[in-house]
Amino acid sequence: MLKITTKDYGDQRTLVVEGKLIDPWVGELEKSWTEAQRMVEQGKVRIDLKDVTVISQHGENLLLEMMREGATFNCCRGVLTRHVVKQLERRRGEHARKDRRQS
């Protein structure tokens, strides 16, 4: 099960994600992310993953895409989540370097 709560702080919107980021719930986070981007025109969208217990490959791919589109992450509670976000940051960096070489 996955729970997503939206919190607004000035020009920043936070999506608080709790539970298992696995199919079929990855699509729910994707919908919430898309809506948050529309609602916060010039602001920032932060993703709070502190209470996520499991992340599937599909969930990782979505988080990577969100990262590439400017999301920031708060995940200081769980070792698993911290590890996944670090791995995604590395993947994002590798992808960006590859794009620069191809240009």
Domain ranges of the chain: 2-102
| Residue 76, pLDDT above cutoff 70 | no
Question: Are 77 and 103 a contacting pair, CB within 8 Å?
Answer: no
pLDDT of 9: 85
Architecture per CATH, domain 2-102, reads as: 2-Layer Sandwich (3.30)
Computed on alpha carbons and rounded to an integer, the radius of gyration of the chain in Å comes to: 14
pLDDT of 12: 87
* Residues 19-30: tens digit of each pLDDT: 999 999 999 999
C-alpha 61/C-alpha 21 separation (Å) is 11
State the alpha helices, DSSP H only, in 1-103: 26-39, 57-68, 79-102
Q: What is the pTM of this model?
A: 0.77
Over residues 91-97, the mean pLDDT reads 72
C-alpha 24/C-alpha 30 separation (Å) is 11
